[in-house]
Structure 1
């Protein structure tokens, strides 16, 4: 156990703060989904443009996350997390101040930028604090908090909007996020930056990128994360459409299914993290990849049996959770000296995989069936297997 972990009661206090930060970043990423019809109505914007509110967050997050990795390695994790949470709270609050769609879109992008500042440093701090035999469990708890937030993100946003106004949703979450900023400011330990070299500022900034991109294992890991995320979000982006078109479920019914699936994913993250500490991350990722591919393919085939489809969906979500915590823990230990840079690049690979997969899925469903989407997602997840076999720890 590291000195940081000992200082915080075996790391439990530290994990609590990091988990709360991850919870709010995850919550905000999904919060806008049920609000799109109301925002479109208020701003007199076509419903089709509403999806840009999600795209703006994810795309800015994916493109900017690598920029903050070297800064995290140089100035310390605490500074990045505290700064990011402050910007995050303000950006979320200001999203609700305007009835102009472009202004709302701008502040969604600001919030995505803040998330890109926070999360790579959260993952890096977990990697810095916990030794290898405890890292999977710790990473599983943080990932569980992040994914668990999506379980309540959609119903909470819909509930507040149903009884008040969509703007109040952002005000409430923004205010609570500001309290989290204060908690992080007071509760997170000072994390020492790396020793400075006498090189120029530009050379010093780009040196971690050079180190990362000349490390073959890191490159393979980023590719692994991309395909893993694409295999998930290719189907997940249109899971609501699947249940509506195939089984004629209404919004309430779809919400219940997604809530149950979210819970199984959270438990999968917690279990996968503990399991990887016992038998190793690679073995858990192998298992999760096979099972996720099998279940997503089976799910796309079961168009005549609602309860069986839901049953398979739950196992698919659990498999994704098991693999996600193990994958994140695995990547975090590949290059400890530039861990912040590696985790920021990993976050970028994750969100770009999400964006590209959802866009490609949209094009695919115009001419083909959900089964073709299931095949694509299964292939994407299975591509993880040959890649991880080439990574040396």
Structure 2
């Protein structure tokens, strides 16, 4: 089991690193490919677009196939498409290869989230998900510095390194991960998109995804303009802002490792309620801190709380319907990417309109309050709390 946890951790780390990698390289690639600023963002956005669009297809497909084979195939394609980014000769080839990398990631990451509840006993699922989510947190903390360091050798080296590492992970999955053939329930829908029907018909599922969207909407809005706010308020350079991002990622990592213990101590309902309330207050207060050091500490604390809550949300979503976990994980990926896109757009509008970060902090607080209300009224948290109490009483 430890080998599986380590392997899934590394898969999420490499996918997360690839996601964040392009950010510090945009100025270099923009100059090299002679791309105007308004178009340069597509070298990042094409990856998210590919992941969001194809996640809706990859999940239902994987629920009807051996999940191990989908994971191996996704990693191989991810390795090739990411390595090809290092051979891009102009803006459009880079956009194409980033799009293909995003599509490959859409077939890879959801299999990891769906594999954990399949391969691990119920008592260990929460802890395992926390460790796997820590892989994303680690990539957020160290993906940008690692990418920048490798890019100092040559801009293409980070893409080649990630490609080779992903290929090695594909080989490890083929060797160590057992087959995960589909669980077919009687009368299970065979059509790809009909697999979403049970989720669309369930009030708890609709509420869970709406709440998940609101969480990412608020947190993405604040993250999108972190760099600009740091530069405007504290006059930090790009590399100095990178140190703040490291604190942010470390908080996320610590929170994800603490998640299972905190949820066990408080139960899911209390954990979510306390976490959302704390985050809402923190986001409102954040724009008013007086030094960059305090801001870094505040972000560490905020993402520590988010690191505790996100594995709980993944657990809740995976428990909605055990027969379509790939569909569930893929829909959560698309929901997250859609919220990230909307959050960045809203943040830009608010920052420009109100000339500052305070409006973004208030927007994030409102988004989190809405998320908590939806979680509570959907009833899914009460179900999770009752399940936790029943396990504790056994």
Quick check: TM above 0.5? yes
- 1:129 aligned partner: 119
The residue aligned with 1:291 is 278
Check the 8 A contact 2:217/2:364 in 1, yes or no.
Answer: yes
Counterpart check, 1:72 vs 2:58: no
Offset from partner CA, 1:224-245 (integer Å, 9 cap, x none): 1111111111010111111111
CA displacement 1:287-334 (0-9 Å, x = unmatched): 2211111111111222x3333222222211111111111111121112
- Partner residue, 1:391: 379
CA deviation vs aligned residue, 1:92-150 (integer Å, no higher than 9, x gap): 00011122110100110111111111111110111222344332211111111112112
Matching residue of 2:157: 168
Query: Residues 281-320 of structure 1 correspond to what in structure 2 (within 5 A)?
Result: 281-302=268-289, 304-320=290-306
Matched, 1:186 2:175: yes
Unaligned runs of 5+ residues in structure 2 are 384-394
CA contact (8 A) 1:133 1:278 kept: no
TM-superposed CA distance for 1:197, in Å, is 7.2
Q: Which of the residues 313, 337, 362 maps onto 1:327? A: 313
Indicate which of 212, 219, 223 corresponds to 1:236.
Answer: 223
Q: Is contact 2:55-2:106 (8 Å) kept?
A: yes
SS in 2 for 1:166: coil
CA contact (8 A) 2:55 2:330 kept: yes
TM-score w.r.t. length of structure 2: 0.92
> In structure 2, the residue corresponding to 1:379 is in which secondary structure?
helix
Question: In structure 1, how many angstroms separate the alpha carbons of the residues matched to 2:341 and 2:351?
Answer: 16
C-alpha contact (below 8 Å) 1:221/1:391 kept by paired residues:
no
Q: Partner residue of 2:75?
A: 85
Match of 1:6 in 2: none
For 2:286 and 2:122, how far apart are their aligned partners in 1?
A: 35
358, 378, 383: which one pairs with 1:371?
358
Inter-CA distance 280–72: structure 2 relative to 1 (3 Å threshold): farther
Is residue 356 from structure 1 mapped to residue 356 from structure 2 by the alignment?
no
Task: Measure the CA separation in 2 of the matches of 1:331 and 1:269.
Answer: 17
State the 1:186 CA deviation.
1.5
Cα distance, 1:149–1:124 mapped onto 2, change above 3 Å: same
Number of the residue aligned with 2:390: none
State how far apart, in whole Å, the 2-side matches of 1:391 and 1:116 are: 29
What is the rounded CA distance, in whole Å, between the counterparts of 2:82 and 2:374 in structure 1?
38
Distance in 2 (alpha carbons) for counterparts of 1:158 and 1:385 = 38
Q: How far apart, CA to CA, are the structure 1 residues paired with 2:24 and 2:159? A: 13
Looking at structure 1, the residues matched to 120 and 215 of structure 2 have their Cα atoms a distance apart, in angstroms, of 25
Partner of residue 391, structure 2: none
Counterparts of 2:206 and 2:172, CA distance in 1:
35
In structure 2, what is the equivalent of residue 253 of structure 1?
240
CA–CA distance in structure 2, aligned partners of residues 339 and 240 of structure 1: 36
Matches of 1:198 and 1:331 in 2, distance apart? 22
Q: How many residues align?
A: 379
1:212 maps to 2:199: yes
What RMSD in Å do the two structures reach over aligned CA positions?
1.7
